Amino acid sequence: MSEIQLQQLVKQYDDVTAVQGMDLEVRDGEFLVLVGPSGCGKSTTLRMIAGLEDITDGTLRIGDSVVNNVPPKDRSIAMVFQNYALYPHMTAAKNMKFGMKSVSDFSTAEIDDRVQEAAETLDITDLLDRKPKELSGGERQRVAIGRALVREPEVFLLDEPLSNLDAKLRVQMRAELLKLHRELATTTIYVTHDQTEAMTLGDRVAVMDDGELQQVAPPQELYDYPTNRFVAGFIGEPSMNVFPVTVRHQNGRFVADHSGFSVTLPTGDGLDGLEGSEVDFGVRPEDITLAQNLPDSTETFQAEVTVREPLGELLLLHCRVGDDELQVKVEPRSQIQPGDTIELGFNEARLHLFEAVSGDALYHSTPQEAPSEAVATE
Ligand code: ADP
């Protein structure tokens, strides 16, 4: 079994607490993505799991064993780095098998077989005799992944492995990594700052900010039920619109009043006691619609278009609403221009409220049935 368990894991560098009391369970065979802005502690977490950084406090388990003080080579992990970390004077094949003798009991012939097998899986058989400088960035990264595969570790750790590749190649490699994981089902932790990469790759995604874990959930749950304003803003591109509103109670319903609109909230779950409170209202750009496409009964409001961004599959409009700017996704061939005043309404199933100071989620207009973390893991 190769589940990984972090219990109250801490990393302190002199005056910087890079990771603060992190609790996380990665299930056997799972592809878990650790995502967050630069400097939030992702790499430090991964490096502690790899054994490349000492753990200041807390417990790290791989399988049933506490491995806090186990050297990296005895942890049955293989790591892939952003900069490939290949030896420039060695061929791809040599890079892939380098060091294998010291970490395994395999014979030379067995190691050669494994290199061949990994090369076939990654479609780099023709490149095995080349040195890194004779390879493109994408090919180098395949060799680096091949080096990890050859080791048949219980756990793969990948630190921003696609960040140095161009956008098109990144998309292609993403699909290949998914395919590889489907075949091998090796427990994998993948670090990235890119929320799209996180959403597309992760069975579950763990969002970090400022050294702290914010939420762990499957991608769609993270998107639909962010636990706080940070996760709501970090996941999704463009970001969720967030504005200050005041909550009012009227005719048995709750209403959110903003300087540019009022919206009646469809359910009252979790809103008791919030009457009169100033909170943050959140709505994603795709959950705002032109009034002409909404049922007549929908509450609408006016917005003045300030910027028009055609994105091909959709048109992104930046609009002024009351004291705030909002972004709305509309049909791509719409002729709406900056300066136009448009009538908009919200998708009432996808409205969110966050506590103004802490940012904690107070309300999702479609209540969540069973948060995945509440479900027993076996
Ligand atoms: P991320 O991978 O999310 O970009 P890191 O884990 O690399 O973030 O860094 C987390 C924090 O720890 C940052 O504030 C960074 O400056 C700090 N840090 C990382 N490595 C060291 C180090 N060797 N010495 C001191 N501070 C460090």
Indicate if ligand 1 lies below 6 Å from the C-beta of 18: yes
> What's the rounded mean pLDDT across residues 30-44?
97
pLDDT digits (tens, 9 = 90+) for 112-128: 998 998 898 888 999 99
pTM to 2 decimals?
0.92
Domain extent listing, the chain? 4-230, 240-364
- Among candidates 173, 212, 224, which has minimal Cα distance to 194? 173
Residue 377 has pLDDT above 50, yes or no: no
Atom 7 of ligand 1 has which residue's CA nearest to it? 43
d(CA 150, CA 145): 9
Closest Cα to atom 24 of ligand 1 = 13
**Residue 45 Cα, ligand 1 centroid: separation in angstroms?**
10
- Does residue 43 line the site of ligand 1, with CB under 6 A? yes
Q: Which SS3 state, helix, strand or coil, does residue 372 take? A: helix
Candidates 3.40.50.300, 3.90.1150.10, 3.40.50.2300, 1.10.10.10; correct CATH number of 4-230? 3.40.50.300
Residue 52 exposure: Cα atoms within 13 Å on the Cβ side:
13
- Residue 7 has, within 13 A of its CA and on its CB side, a CA count of 11
**Closest ligand 1 atom to the C-alpha of 46?**
6
- The verdict on the CB of residue 16 being under 6 Å from ligand 1 is yes
The CA-based dihedral angle spanning residues 224, 370, 294, 276, taken in that order and rounded to the nearest 10 degrees:
-80
Residue nearest to atom 12 of ligand 1 (CA): 18
CATH architecture for residues 240-364: Beta Barrel (2.40)
CA of 12 to the centre of ligand 1 (A): 10
> Comparing 4-230 with 240-364, is the CATH topology the same?
no
The pLDDT tens digits for 146-200 are 888 888 889 999 999 998 888 888 898 899 899 989 988 999 999 999 999 999 9
> Has residue 271 got a pLDDT over 80?
yes
The finding on whether 39 has its CB within 6 A of some atom of ligand 1 is yes
